[in-house]
Structure 1
Amino acid sequence: MKKYLTIFLTLIASIILVFVFDNRTVEAATPNGVNYSISPELPSNQISKNIGYYDLKVTPGQSETIKFKINNTDTKEHSYKVSVNRAATDINGVIDYNDHGIAPDSDLQYNIEKLVTYPKEVTVAANSSKEVSIKLDAPKGDFSGELLGGIFVQENNQINNDKKLPKGVTLRNQYNYVLGLQLQQNTDAVKPDLKFVKVFETDNNGQISVDGEMDNDVPTLENKVSVDAKVTAQNSSKIILKSDKKAMSMAPNSDFYYPVNVNTVTGPSKNKRLKPGKYTMYLSVKANNGKNHWNLKRNFVVTKKQMAKINHKNPDRAMDLWIILGAILALVVIAGFVIKHYRKNSR
């Protein structure tokens, strides 16, 4: 009898453990030392002299060459990728210079990526520095506000792709430097303008969110941005989802996808979902120390097809408890038959 009871309890424990523990693990690879740096050589048309990036006043059609140094402090030669990237806004409200060739905003007058010529790769000998030149051709026409980008520098072959990572490690670290590059013809203020483009539900590695796409469609950097977001069912005042965040920024002529989380990646709210239906997102946005304020509103729809797609990638595990209880009940029934059979045969 004791033997059967032990087997029974072991089976129950095994089923519970299968559902309680998620086999997916995320670990970060151990960082390697950074063995290079970059330093700007600020030109005479630098507006702000006490900053470490390029803030240049240009005239229509002006051509100039700006320079910076890559300093290799390693004991061996390295090559470096160089690119000039237009400023974007990431989902955290942080100015991002890491990507090149992103589709431009429809209101963008001049693309800073098209105004520069430079070497795409630079090799620097061990324990030495090399000067890199970027030819800048300012727009021939007038413009207001700022053209904002960044000079992106990254050492090549930081990662040995042939080297097998430890089991469970999926993240490899790479390091880069960015020198800001801002062009202005004047310092006249540009009237801010923010548009609420669309709302949609999306998911990223288990995080389901409703994203509100805002468009900063003027060539000016919006600072100290705060967003207070709410989601309700259409024609209802009951708040279903909400989010607020402060101290953000929006790059000139860029889109900002502000996320309002539906679920949590782990924990009791992991299986939370929006039901298919019609909803409204409200955004209260302030910028520049509250000087500018927008109250924005957009309706959106969550369809059964969209939910099926999201649930396929992120299965709703809300039924797991019932599955566990059902399995335990089945085992109890089986165990009852086994015990009954054992007692009958032992008489």
Structure 2
Amino acid sequence: MNKKSVCYGILVCLFLFLYPILSFAEEDKINVISGFSYEILFPENQVDREVGYYDLLMKAGETQTIRLKVKNTSNQAMNVKVQINSAKTNGNGVIEYGPSELKKDASLKYDLAEILRGPDEIVIPANSSEVIAFDLIMPANHFEGYIAGGIQLKPIIKEEQSKTEQNTIVNTFAFLIGVLLHESDIDKVTPDLKLNGTSLKLKEGNYTLFVNLSNIKGIFLENMTATIRINEKGKTRNLFELTKSNLRMAPNSMIDLPVFLSDKEITAGEYTANIQITTENGWNWTWVKNFTLSKVTAQKIKQPTQKKNARNLDAKWFMAIIMLLTICFSIGLFIIKRKR
């Protein structure tokens, strides 16, 4: 035995330990499919032709057809699934234009998916292009602000492996094209936020206090900062404070802001949430909301933290055992070498 053998043994142990991580990273690469592209065919009422989305100025009750050109440069036929969605806001303050499980806000009168209609799926032959037509029917009643949403294109390619095997379907990335519809000057619309309430729900296995807000106007709220302070009811000392910045909200959408409680020293009792929202344009909203934590709820909040600490301790012991075995293996090889 020599030093090379000892190093080789250590490297083998480390490789076996890290191999699952490396193989997972490699598998993630097979989702990429090239050969698909799209082009927005802007109509005459497009406000800005330098952007990568539709921004259409229209009139109440007006009808129009808008078009997208899609191209397949691969040698296989390609199916493209088409889906239209209204814009929503997730809990991280990010606007989602694609399909999601986020709920619609009560202030959303006109869903883009209900006034813009198109095919659910098209087939693009190999090395060719197609034009997708969408029929747009504006609401009969005048509205202020935007109707916002997106068109999702999800290409799927079928590859023939052999006559005896079935076609293999490989999913690719989805492409999103934003759609903004408006009838008048957006700058004249005054923003308004509404506090719907607070609730305690499970998120990623942890009990979390959610602050639910609605943007009830048809405009985007940009660069928002949310500050939430929690204190015992009737007292001024803050138990903890949460600040989130660079948030955005879609027109007529809601946001569920999470306040994680599992790492806080919180017990049963009555509490007050002081909520403040500010924007880059100087708009400011504040609310005071009381809520109660029962003994059962307070105990449930602590349990995930205890379990997490136990899992972290188990992981540390596991790593310590691996390192100890590696060291013992190296020492054993060294002793055998010395005896020989």
Q: TM > 0.5 between the two? A: yes
Identity %: 26
Retained in 1: the 8 A contact 2:88–2:104? no
1:296 aligns with 2:295: no
What is the one-letter code of the residue matched to 1:209?
A: T
User: Structure 2: any 5+ residue segments left out of the alignment?
Assistant: 1-20, 159-169, 315-340
Q: Using a 3 Å threshold, how does the CA distance of structure 1 residues 157 and 93 change in structure 2: closer, same or farther?
A: farther
Equivalent residue runs for 1:1-347 within 5 Å: 29-31=27-29, 32-35=31-34, 36-99=36-99, 103-156=103-156, 175-188=173-186, 189-263=188-262, 269=263, 272=264, 274-287=266-279, 289-307=280-298, 314=304, 316-317=306-307
SS in structure 2 of the partner of residue 114 of structure 1? helix
Query: How far off its partner does 1:105 sit?
Result: 2.1
Query: How far off its partner does 1:224 sit?
Result: 1.5
Q: Using a 3 Å threshold, how does the CA distance of structure 1 residues 238 and 176 change in structure 2: closer, same or farther?
A: same
Query: How far off its partner does 1:222 sit?
Result: 0.9
What is the one-letter code of the residue matched to 1:296?
A: W
- The Cα offsets for residues 163-205 of structure 1, whole Å up to 9 and x where unpaired, read as xxxxxxxxx9962111000000011421111111111223322
Query: How far off its partner does 1:140 sit?
Result: 1.1
Retained in 2: the 8 A contact 1:201–1:302? no
- The Cα offsets for residues 19-51 of structure 1, whole Å up to 9 and x where unpaired, read as xxxxxx9x6651332322322111100112211
- C-alpha RMSD over aligned residues: 3.0
The equivalent of 1:344 in structure 2 is none
Query: How far off its partner does 1:90 sit?
Result: 0.8
What is the one-letter code of the residue matched to 1:215?
A: S
Q: Using a 3 Å threshold, how does the CA distance of structure 1 residues 73 and 91 change in structure 2: closer, same or farther?
A: farther
User: Structure 1: any 5+ residue segments left out of the alignment?
Assistant: 1-24, 159-171, 264-268, 325-347
Equivalenced residue count is 277
Q: Using the alignment, how far apart are the partners of 2:294 and 2:281 within structure 1?
A: 37
Retained in 1: the 8 A contact 2:69–2:130? yes
- The normalised TM-score by structure 2 is 0.73
Q: Using the alignment, how far apart are the partners of 2:102 and 2:257 within structure 1?
A: 18
Q: Using the alignment, how far apart are the partners of 1:236 and 1:278 within structure 2?
A: 11
- The Cα offsets for residues 63-89 of structure 1, whole Å up to 9 and x where unpaired, read as 111111223343322212211100000
Retained in 2: the 8 A contact 1:241–1:262? no
Retained in 2: the 8 A contact 1:86–1:112? yes
Q: Using the alignment, how far apart are the partners of 2:245 and 2:171 within structure 1?
A: 28
SS in structure 2 of the partner of residue 316 of structure 1? helix
- The Cα offsets for residues 285-309 of structure 1, whole Å up to 9 and x where unpaired, read as 112x242111122112233444566
The equivalent of 2:16 in structure 1 is none
Q: Using the alignment, how far apart are the partners of 1:208 and 1:126 within structure 2?
A: 51
Bigger helix share: 2
